[in-house]
Amino acid sequence: MTNVIPTSTISSDAGLRTLAEKVWDKHLVTKGEDGTPDLIYIDLHLLHEVTSPQAFDGLRLANRPLRRPDLTIATEDHNTPTLAIDKPIADPTSRTQIETLRRNCAEYGVRLHSLGDIEQGIVHVVGPQLGLTQPGITVVCGDSHTSTHGAFGAMALGIGTSEVEHVMATQTLPLNPFKTMAITVNGVLRTGVTAKDIILAVIARIGTGGGAGYVLEYRGEAIRALSMDGRMTICNMSIEAGARAGMVAPDQVTYDYLKGRAHAPRGADWDAAVAYWQTLATDEGASFDAEVIIDANELEPFVTWGTNPGQGVSLSGSVPNPAEIVDANERSAAERALEYMDLTAGTLMKQIRVDTVFLGSCTNSRIEDLRAAAEIIKGKSKAEGLRMMVVPGSARVRIEAEAEGLDQIFLDFGAEWRFAGCSMCLGMNPDQLEPGERCASTSNRNFEGRQGKGGRTHLVSPLVAAATAIRGTLSSPWDLVQDGD
């Protein structure tokens, strides 16, 4: 692993613990012996339609009950259309998957927020906005972007369907302890640089496998200065660095976000909860297994050029030359990526023209993301021939945005204003790129074909997405200033 500073190989002194270790210890049901994993209790289990049907089937086959329906909640997000949601879902296989979730939730007594419900939306937007995601808890979901919830100081793990079934049956998971890595972001972000740029820069630095086996803890002045929405964006993409989870210690920003939410503790319970949450931060002097240090002052808007999230560069940079990459595997991956992306080494990133801008996904579809983009495009006109799709993360985010008039700003600009869901992040619904279409996307994965077969994805922040929609080429808000706007 390059660019990661190994710290002392001696683990934390007795009594000094990191945030991740504290949450782990608190949830230990049994301590593993002789190479067996620890058994960890799970406080909150989130379900959606794609990774749960086979797990429910498994329960049914083994005649096992779902142990804790009161710690389980489901929503429909991956397959749901973002247009004409009053009509039946057109694709029969998508419809079957949604109907299967509805049947399973009814049979097992699981709370479900269906399409059309005010709490429906992307599972990682719904949990926090209901106040279910809280500091110090363990959260799992059959979805890799569960890492999002770590923004609250929760231990949040993406799991596979066998593990989903395991949690349904036992409310626990057998897990091996993880190593810890501090991602320390010092300094202050410049105007126009966002949480998304921080995490894209982190992934470019440590690579898609750099976090493998680690829980990342984001620390430092620049992280503390972020809102909860920004912290969620960062933790969301921890998985793109290969990490099992990403976390931020809770603080006043966290408490202010939670207070008054539907499922946040109230009254004396609130005081007890806050008193506990205040004990969670990593102890002074506790050691991490590795550390990465980033200087926020130096960060610029960031963008990917390739087909994995580690293949990124500052927007002011250019498409790299594979011949200059020393590592043979990385070199051949870069060659393949440039061919797929139809890019030539040396091309300035800002010269790359895009066809579509997608503002959405569990990474960047919360109210602040929509506000930030709306502020850039307000009163401007969209680049000729470009399409822009805006997909709020949840029905509630959509309603909140409409109350602020953001929908009208997007519509006046010429963007499409859609209903909530995962949408074009992975194109399980009709929202897909055409072969060869190039997209500036606020989502999390630029894998080949991710947004539609043959589609080409550049990962960007909401600000870069908005500026790109105005200029038609990959752009940052800084370029708009230079244009004299």
Partner 1 sequence: MQKFTTVTGIAVPLRRSNVDTDQIIPAVHLKRVTRTGFEDALFAAWRLDPEFVINKKEYQGGRVLIAGADFGIGSSREHAVWALRDYGFDVVLSPRFGDIFRGNSGKQGLLAGQISEADAETLWNLVECDPGVELTVDLVSKTVRVGDLTVNFEIDDYTRWRLLEGLDDIGLTLRDEARISEFETKRESWLPRTLPALSPESSRINLM
In the bound state with partner 1, the residue whose beta carbon lies nearer, of 185 and 420, is 420
User: In the range 203-262, which residues lie near partner 1 by CB under 8 A?
Assistant: 208-209, 212-213, 239-240, 242, 244, 262
CA distance readout (Å), 106 to 34, 37, 56, 61, 372: 41, 33, 12, 17, 39
The CA angle 143-146-151, to the nearest 5 degrees, is: 170
CA distance 414 to 407: 11
Closest approach, Cβ 282 to partner 1, in A, equals: 21
Q: Which of 50, 232, 367, 409 binds partner 1 (CB under 8 A)?
A: 50
In the bound state with partner 1, the residue whose beta carbon lies nearer, of 221 and 405, is 405
- Residues 6 or more apart in contact with residue 72 via CB below 8 angstroms: 45, 46, 47, 66, 110, 111, 168
CA distance 431 to 420: 12
User: In the range 408-467, which residues lie near partner 1 by CB under 8 A?
Assistant: 426-428, 445, 447-450, 453
Of 132-140, 286-294, 366-374, 477-485: span binding partner 1 (CB under 8 A) = 132-140
Residue labelled with tokens 């300094």: 187
CA distance 470 to 376: 9
- Residues 6 or more apart in contact with residue 323 via CB below 8 angstroms: 331, 345
Residue 278 touches partner 1, criterion: CB under 8 A = no
Residue 54 touches partner 1, criterion: CB under 8 A = yes
Nearest alpha carbon to residue 212 among 179, 243, 235, 176: 243
CA distance 7 to 384: 52
Of 63-71, 184-192, 359-367, 473-481: span binding partner 1 (CB under 8 A) = 63-71
Q: Which of 7, 11, 96, 408 binds partner 1 (CB under 8 A)?
A: 96
DSSP 3-state of 303: strand
Q: Which of 20, 122, 125, 132 binds partner 1 (CB under 8 A)?
A: 132
Of 14-22, 30-38, 292-300, 383-391: span binding partner 1 (CB under 8 A) = 30-38
How many residues at the interface with partner 1, by CB under 8 A?
Answer: 98
Q: Which of 102, 179, 190, 336 binds partner 1 (CB under 8 A)?
A: 336
User: In the range 295-314, which residues lie near partner 1 by CB under 8 A?
Assistant: 307-308, 310
Q: At what angle do helices 228-236 and 195-206 cross, to 10 degrees?
A: 20
The torsion angles phi and psi of 388, rounded to 5 degrees, stand at -125, 130
**Residue 445: how many other CB atoms lie within 10 Å:** 23
Closest approach, Cβ 197 to partner 1, in A, equals: 21
Residue 272 touches partner 1, criterion: CB under 8 A = yes
Q: Which of 11, 57, 186, 190 binds partner 1 (CB under 8 A)?
A: 57
Q: Which of 7, 11, 100, 278 binds partner 1 (CB under 8 A)?
A: 100
Residue 425 marked ligand-binding: yes
Residue 422 marked ligand-binding: yes
Closest approach, Cβ 314 to partner 1, in A, equals: 21
**Residue 330: how many other CB atoms lie within 10 Å:** 14
User: In the range 346-405, which residues lie near partner 1 by CB under 8 A?
Assistant: 395, 398-399
Q: Which of 80, 171, 254, 318 binds partner 1 (CB under 8 A)?
A: 171
- Residues 6 or more apart in contact with residue 356 via CB below 8 angstroms: 386, 387, 388, 389, 433, 437, 438, 439, 440
**Residue 477: how many other CB atoms lie within 10 Å:** 20
Q: Is 317 exposed, middle or buried (0-12, 13-18, 19+ CB in 10 A)?
A: middle
Closest approach, Cβ 297 to partner 1, in A, equals: 31
In the bound state with partner 1, the residue whose beta carbon lies nearer, of 84 and 348, is 84
Q: Which of 5, 13, 25, 30 binds partner 1 (CB under 8 A)?
A: 30
Binding characters for partner 1, 148-167, by CB under 8 A (x = yes)? ----------xxxxxx-xx-
Q: Which of 105, 155, 237, 273 binds partner 1 (CB under 8 A)?
A: 273
Q: Which residues are annotated as a binding site for [4Fe-4S] cluster?
A: 362, 422, 425
Q: Which residues are annotated as a binding site?
A: 362, 422, 425
